[in-house]
Structures are given as C-alpha cells and as structure tokens.
Amino acid sequence: MQSQENYYAYWSLTKPPFDNVPDPEMYFDMHASVENAVSETLFAIEEGNECLAVIVGDVGLGKTMALRVILDSLEPEKYRIAFVTNPDMTFIQLMKEIIGQLTGEQCTESTREPILEIFNQGWFRGQMTAKRCCSSSTRLTL
C-alpha cells in the first residue's frame, strides 16, 4: 500500500491510471496522428452528411481512447450514440446491439431483413427528430 501511495504522489495521481476501459479524464496529448483522427472524426460526425468515419490502427495506438474522447465531446441532446465495446459477434448480433442501444429496447428479431428494416427506420426517425445517430466500435471484423 505504501508503494502505491508513493506512486500516486510521484505522478500527482488521484486515482488508478490503468484500467480495462480507457478513462478520458486521464487523457493526455497524443501523437499528432491520433489528434488528427479525433478532429477528423468529430468533423465527420458534426458536419458530415450521412458519412462514415473509420479509425484503424495496431493494438495500443489509442483507438479506444480516441473514441472515448470523441464520444465525451459530443452533446447528448444532439446525438443518439451506440458504443459497442466488444464487437466480436455476428452481423445480426452487432445490429441488434446497436438497435438496442439506440432505442433503449431489446431487439427480438432474429433474421437479417427485419433487423435491417428496424435499423433503417430508427436511423430515419433519428434524422427526423434532429438527433444524429452515431455508432462506434473498438474492433470490427465483418
């Protein structure tokens, strides 16, 4: 316990710096390429018209932290956000997860066409209520 207190004091920390989930409060200036990814993705979300932004990179380069910084800087009253932290799932499971997060209700459909119809209706409804929809994932393999 003593060494942990010394560690916190030396680095001026008030809470543990390492966790399974990156904490944007522990954010520090990143490499220029990560900063560019954050600013370009924010621009795509805020100014883009029905566009897709993708952040890719090797393990440990800051993709998840960048997404957390991006999501924390979006105004909740303007956006409906789905953040899939473990997208190691089938397409149908992924779509059901996104639908559930965007609607707040569990999607009970089990086949592709009805799920896509629900997704498209929800996306359109989001556009009609002046709330933009965002979906992000830390790993995605289709």
What's the pLDDT at 34? Answer: 78
Amino acid letter, residue 84? V
Q: Cβ contacts of residue 73 below 8 Å, gap of 6+?
A: 42
- 72 vs 87, residue with greater confidence: 72
Tell me the average pLDDT of the chain: 78
What's the pLDDT at 14? Answer: 77
pTM: 0.65
Query: How confident is residue 113, by pLDDT bands cut at 50, 70 and 90?
Result: very high
**Domain boundaries in the chain?**
1-73, 76-142
The answer, yes or no, to whether residue 111 has pLDDT greater than 90, is yes
- What secondary structure does DSSP assign to 7-71, as a single string? HHHHHT-SS-S--SS--GGG-----HHHHHHHHHHHHHHHH-SS--------TTSSHHHHHHHHH
The answer, yes or no, to whether residue 25 has pLDDT greater than 70, is no
As a whole number, mean pLDDT of residues 38-58 equals: 82
What's the pLDDT at 121? Answer: 85
